[in-house]
Structure 1
């Protein structure tokens, strides 16, 4: 059996944790099996080196213009990712796809694949910090909150340890459950997640509660940030009274359902201000505020400054 060759495209400021979580499971699989099941190499735009967001420098074997034959290719970006989507990078990805290579993305890499037009009509995972901006920028992509998506033509993972989850999944798929578990054990990684695992700790875990009404109420709110649903409608959907809904939010969050809902919408507005070039008025509408003045007043009160003061990208 010949080794599978993985090529990792390292974009400037890529996330070093993601790179380590991508390659170490492959190395350990080789070590445990006593065979070269996997090979991997790195590519950067200049074909010499790539600098991670933590300052680590990785020497690479290839430039974006001359990749070797490979079975899988993953793009790994990181901080300020949108500033480093270059023509050579997109051309490299398109050539690989046209050549039949399985092209995937890690961390914020789904944004780059979406920019190249690869993900329309598909499910995709991206680091949670980019969710709001990604959903606005790429409405034809079915964004999910899962740690990774492996059942589409283009595999995507949300970065960090989610990359290790994906690699363990691929090892199991290629060489069986026993090897995957042995690799996980060697990594002292007992918490490997399935693809459908959520990126962030569940609401129940964060707040130490098991109340299905509260969890469902928040799910309704999160699904209707652009067109807010009145508390009465939420309570009716849950089959409880408004008064009971208010008691539950007072118990678990020390606030009212309306206030909690408002803060969800303001948090989304802040994400869009940081991550996109949408105008403040467009963001206000996208977060369910019909009056720009009302939005600005609430934003200033909540965050201590006007919306315009927090313009910029994630740094």
Structure 2
């Protein structure tokens, strides 16, 4: 059986950790397998090299406009990927899909695939930092909080070590569970995560997950950031009293349900401010604040700066 060939499209400022977590499982599979199982090559905009966000430079074999046919192709961007979504990159992805290559995305790569129109009506995973902005920009894509999505036409992983989880999953699909475990052991990796595992659970949420009422309350809050519901309504949904809900949040988080909810909404507003071109008034509404003045006062109190000043420092 011929080895599968993977091509990695390295977008400028890509995440080096994601690239390493993509390549090393394949290399180790070759090392401990009975025969070469995988080959890979890299492509960049100029066909010479690509610089990662940590300053590392990778020499490549192809330009985006001259990518050969392969079994799988993955796009790997990083921070600020919207500044590097070029016509050449999108053309390369569309050409690969037309020729039957399985196209996927790692780290913030789901944004690139969504921009190309690949993910409408599908589930996708992207690094948690981009969740709020992604939902606003691509409402036709079902964003999940999982570490990766492998049961769609276009597989996606949220980056970092989630990329290793996806690669181990693919190795298991291609060559069996035993090889996947052997590769994981060689990486001194404490077991690959299933695709359904959430990417990020804060320390506060980990504590709250011990209590099913708190867990469900947080789930309700996260699902209604744009149109907040009152703690009384949340308590009714849980079948407990509002006072009991207050006691639970005081016990686990040393705060009230209202305060916790407000902080979730402010975190969302900050993500939208940093990741999108939405106006401050649009961000206020999308985060459940009907008054821009009220939103600005709360934002300044919580983050120590106003939304407009925060955005000004980005420029």
Same topology, TM > 0.5: yes
Question: Could you say what the CA RMSD is over the residues aligned between the two structures, in angstroms?
Answer: 1.5
118-127 vs 188-197, greater mean Cα deviation = 188-197
Please tell me whether the aligned partners of residues 204 and 215 of structure 1 are also in contact (alpha carbons under 8 angstroms): no
**Alignment match, 1:164:** 164
1:197 is paired with a residue whose SS is coil
CA distance in 2, matches of 1:294, 1:202: 27
Matched-pair contact (CA < 8 Å) for 1:5–1:70: yes
Q: Which aligned pairs between 1:90-239 and structure 2 lie closer than 5 A?
A: 90-201=90-201, 206-207=206-207, 210-239=210-239
- Between the aligned partners of 1:314 and 1:52, the Cα distance in structure 2 is 21
Deviations 1:28-71 (A, max 9, x none): 00110131110000000110111111111111001111112200
Alignment-derived partner of residue 306 in structure 1: 306
Does 1:44 pair with 2:44? Answer: yes
Offset at residue 191 of structure 1 (A): 3.2
Displaced runs of 4 or more, over 4 A: 202-205, 312-315
Cα-to-partner distance string for 1:127-148 (whole Å, 9 max, x where unaligned): 0000000000000000000000
Give the Cα separation in 2 of the matches to 1:227 and 1:257: 16
Distance 1:203 1:229 in 2: 24
Contact 2:209–2:215 (CA under 8 A) maintained in structure 1:
no
Q: Sort the Cα spacing of 1:205 and 1:215 in 2 relative to 1 into closer, same or farther, 3 A.
A: closer
Structure 1, unpaired ranges of 5+: none
Partner-residue secondary structure (3-state), 1:289 = coil
Question: Is 197-206 or 162-171 further displaced after alignment?
Answer: 197-206
Q: How many residues are paired up?
A: 315
* Rounded Cα–Cα distance in structure 1 between residues aligned with 2:312 and 2:78: 16
Assess, with a 3 A threshold, how the Cα gap between structure 1 residues 297 and 208 changes in structure 2: closer, same or farther.
closer
Match of 2:4 in 1: 4
1:300 deviates by: 1.0
Normalised by the size of structure 2, how large is the TM-score? 0.97
Q: What stretches of structure 2 of length at least 5 have no aligned partner?
A: none
Shift of 1:252: 1.0
Q: Deviations over 1:210-263 (max 9, x none)?
A: 111111101100000000011111001111000000011111111111111111
3-state SS of 1:8 partner: strand
Q: Deviations 1:168-204 (Å, cap 9, x if unpaired)? A: 0000000000000000000000131011111013667
CA distance in 1 between partners of 2:204 and 2:226 (Å): 25
Distance of aligned partners of 1:300 and 1:208 in 2 relative to their CA distance in 1, 3 Å threshold = closer
Decide whether aligned partners of structure 1 residues 312 and 191 sit closer, same or farther in structure 2, where only a CA change above 3 A counts: farther
**Which residue of 1 is the match for residue 81 of structure 2?**
81
Classify 1:163/1:313 alpha carbon distance in 2 versus 1 (closer, same or farther; 3 Å): farther
In 2, distance between residues paired with 1:55 and 1:112?
22
CA distance in 1, matches of 2:57, 2:209: 44
Rounded to whole Å, the distance in 2 between the matches of 1:309 and 1:35 is: 58
Partner of 1:240: 240
